[in-house]
Amino acid sequence: MATIVFWEKPGCQGNARQKEIIRASGHELEVRDLLAEPWSEERLALFFGERPVAEWFNPAHPKVKAGEVVPASYGRSEALSLMVAEPLFIVRPLMQVGDERLAGFEVGQVHNWIGLALDSVGERDPRNCPCVTRSGQP
């Protein structure tokens, strides 16, 4: 089983569910605060690889939901700069095992990467945060 460094937004219900699934699958977690991490553009880019820039964004961010920020309109450099300045724009979670990194929680992709006990996933899609906090922060 793997030990996964897992960057989350503390208090996020979606991240809590994702951690439950990973632990139920026999993996260990080293949980870190996504918002307190000192990100650089170079380091953050390693989590996204060749994925389309639009997939890098947190779809629950109020500015994304309102259409003020349109992820598909950003280039790599511009998106990374925005995310370093405001980490709430980053799709969650960010995960790392050794030198391998992954952004977001698409069940099939995570299963192929580290293996999941798929019976622990349940019916609700664990990719997205089901709520916005009282502060209005996704």
Q: Which residues are known to be catalytic? A: 12
Angstrom distance (rounded) from CA 114 to CA 100: 10
Residue 120: how many other CB atoms lie within 10 Å: 14
The Cα 43–Cα 30 span in angstroms is 18
The size of the chain, in residues, is: 138
Paired residues of 90 in beta bridges: 57
